[in-house]
Amino acid sequence: MKMTNYQQLTRTFLRLSRFSHLSSIASWDMFAMMPPGGSQARGEALAEMSVLTHQILTDKQVGQWIDGAEQENLNDVERANLQEIKRHYEQASLLPEALVEAKSLAGSRCEHAWRTQRPNNDWEGFSQNLKEVVKLSREEAKLRAEAKGCSRYDALLDIFEPQMTSARLDALFADLKSWLPDLLARATEKQAQRTLIAPEGPFPTATQRELGLEAMKMLGFDFNGGRLDVSAHPFCGGVPEDVRITTRYNENELFSALFGVIHETGHARYEQNLPREWPGQPVQLARSTAIHESQSLFFEMQLGRSEAFLTRLLPHIVQRFGDQPAFAPENYVAWNQRVKPGYIRVDADEVSYPAHVVLRYEIERALIDGDIEVEDIPTLWDEKMQAWLGLSTKGNYRDGCMQDIHWTDGGFGYFPSYTLGAMYAAQLFHAARAALPQLNADIAQGDFSALFDWLRQNIWQHGSRFSTSQLITNATGEDLSARYFRAHLEARYL
């Protein structure tokens, strides 16, 4: 029996998803397990695989199947899947193979060297590698922009956030900028009136790990299909059937790793609860990076740092590390809701976090659009950090522009997702609370089932069936608005 065009496509994408499985695990390994000497061979292996998948995906035949499938009789899910297939095909077809391979190689090289360059504060060395990554990303942006008829930066943004534009982003961030600096100042001032007792370590790594595993269990992480490990830069990787999250431990700091784990658990639960009815098909992938981040921030910020959840968590902490003055309930809650502008984005509180993102957004947009060069980054970074948070990063590259891993991989266009995610999370939590009047009592009793059912029903189970706008409108009654994020911050911090 002759296969339909649509069947040819699903077979091709199933095959691609299996190759992507191997790359995902090898990438996780690269960050979590691999010794330094394996770096070059691993980079080459992953690059070879990205060339292969690029070849398969961009085969002219795929384009013909897409054209054919559009005339075929498809149900709603298949139609949505075809649309995603088309999006992936078009995105990939714009790039010549040589560029794909060069980007993958340059990214691996830059990331690998960063691991030793960052502790050495070696901007000189790092920027050499980064220049190559930027050069290749600009080439990519140019090709994409010409095909889509948009600005170069918008063309990259579209990879992570389909339908998002810098015009819309500018509007959302302008809203934010109109009230956030004032809110940040007032929150900081309010908190300055109270002296908090800092937790006193050491907090042994092994015990921190056990606590993290316990939090993952509370939050429904499926250990039959996932793991917790360590990497320099925490992330959620692997595949939906086997989700790998990582964190990093500091024996003097208890809550950084713990909330890192809770954050990645939000990402993981999204992955673990994506639909599985259409094996290997793009329609069962996560909707976008901002929606992904909304799930991790839902877990970390909306739920995780709420007074009800913190209170629920406290006995587990005391049980493992013994009691101490910092763990007096009021002090402990206040400590975990501190607003304390700092250098490091991943350790930032949710009020100052958007500053880190807007800063990077403005720099990376200028970088891709060719308005600035790699050499200009440290000065711009310092200026913007001074303006937003009053902190100087002059000469301190390690805690400045070398703190992140995103640019090393050429992931320009990704950073806005963090703050979009925070906004989506607030909007979703608001809707969930409206739908679940018992929510606070449930959380206090450690019963998150209704909340997770709500997420499963409204977000997780849909994969990429709907556009982001549709998805968020179906779930909350309206498209993305910054006002729920503002209301959340005001309620918690003012």
User: If binding means CB under 8 A, how many residues of this protein chain bind its own copies?
Assistant: 34
Decide if residue 48 touches its own copies (CB under 8 A).
yes
Decide if residue 150 touches its own copies (CB under 8 A).
no
Decide if residue 70 touches its own copies (CB under 8 A).
no
Q: Pick the closer one to its own copies by CB: 230 or 435.
A: 230
Candidate list 146, 167, 223, 453; residue touching its own copies; CB under 8 A: 223
Residue 390 contact among its own copies, Zn ion, none, beta carbon within 5 to 8 Å by kind: none
Closest among 189, 234, 232 to 341, alpha carbons compared = 189
Minimal distance, residue 97 CB to Zn ion, in Å: 31
Candidate list 296, 403, 464, 468; residue touching Zn ion; CB under 5 A: 296
Give the HSE-up count for residue 276: Cα atoms under 13 Å, Cβ half-sphere.
8
Decide if residue 49 touches its own copies (CB under 8 A).
yes
Stretch of residues binding Zn ion (CB under 5 A), selected from 23-31, 111-119, 220-228, 285-293: 285-293
Candidate list 68, 96, 162, 225; residue touching its own copies; CB under 8 A: 225
Residues forming beta bridges with residue 227, ordered by sequence position = 244
Are the CB atoms for 415 and 360 separated by under 8 Å? yes
CA 154 – CA 361 distance, rounded (Å):
12
Decide if residue 483 touches its own copies (CB under 8 A).
no
Are the CB atoms for 107 and 410 separated by under 8 Å? yes
Decide if residue 34 touches its own copies (CB under 8 A).
yes
Stretch of residues binding Zn ion (CB under 5 A), selected from 105-113, 222-230, 289-297, 471-479: 289-297
In the residue annotation, 264 being an active-site residue is answered as yes
Residue 296 contact among its own copies, Zn ion, none, beta carbon within 5 to 8 Å by kind: Zn ion
Decide if residue 15 touches its own copies (CB under 8 A).
yes
* Phi-psi category of residue 402: left, alpha or beta, with phi > 0 → left and psi -120 to 50 → alpha: alpha
Candidate list 7, 19, 59, 74; residue touching its own copies; CB under 8 A: 19
Interface characters, 330-369, with its own copies (x: CB under 8 A): ----------------------------------------
How many other C-beta atoms lie within 10 A of the C-beta of residue 192? 9
List, in order, residues 6 or more apart from 280 with CB less than 8 Å away: 10, 13, 14, 15, 16, 17, 18
Stretch of residues binding its own copies (CB under 8 A), selected from 99-107, 140-148, 224-232, 463-471: 224-232
Candidate list 6, 9, 10, 46; residue touching its own copies; CB under 8 A: 46
Minimal distance, residue 229 CB to its own copies, in Å: 8
Q: Strand 242-247 to strand 226-230: parallel, antiparallel, or no bridges (unpaired)?
A: parallel
Q: Strand 242-247 to strand 236-239: parallel, antiparallel, or no bridges (unpaired)?
A: antiparallel
To which H or E segment does residue 152 belong? helix 152-160
Residue 253 per-residue DSSP state: B
Decide if residue 209 touches its own copies (CB under 8 A).
no
Are the CB atoms for 233 and 405 separated by under 8 Å? yes
Residue with tokens 């019963």: 447
Q: Pick the closer one to its own copies by CB: 38 or 181.
A: 38
Minimal distance, residue 41 CB to its own copies, in Å: 4
Decide if residue 236 touches its own copies (CB under 8 A).
no
User: From the candidates 132, 140, 264, 300, which is the catalytic residue?
Assistant: 264
Output helix, strand, coil percentages for the chain, rounded to the nearest 5. 70, 5, 30
Decide if residue 417 touches Zn ion (CB under 5 A).
no
Geometric angle at alpha carbon 246, from 403 and 140, rounded to 5° = 55
Q: Kindly state the tokens that stand for 325.
A: 């003055």
Stretch of residues binding its own copies (CB under 8 A), selected from 37-45, 159-167, 383-391, 435-443: 37-45
CA distances from 17 to 20, 59, 77, 283, 304 (A): 5, 16, 18, 12, 33
Decide if residue 37 touches its own copies (CB under 8 A).
yes
Residue with tokens 């304390």: 340
Candidate list 4, 7, 38, 440; residue touching its own copies; CB under 8 A: 38
Minimal distance, residue 324 CB to Zn ion, in Å: 30
Stretch of residues binding its own copies (CB under 8 A), selected from 237-245, 348-356, 412-420, 451-459: 237-245
CA distances from 130 to 106, 408, 419 (A): 8, 6, 24
How many other C-beta atoms lie within 10 A of the C-beta of residue 299? 29
Decide if residue 41 touches its own copies (CB under 8 A).
yes
CA 461 – CA 452 distance, rounded (Å):
11
Closest among 218, 256, 213 to 234, alpha carbons compared = 256
Interface ranges with its own copies (CB under 8 A): 15, 18-19, 21-23, 25-26, 29, 33-38, 40-42, 44-46, 48-49, 52, 222-227, 238-239, 241-242
Catalytic residues: 264
Binding site for Zn ion (CB under 5 A): 293, 296
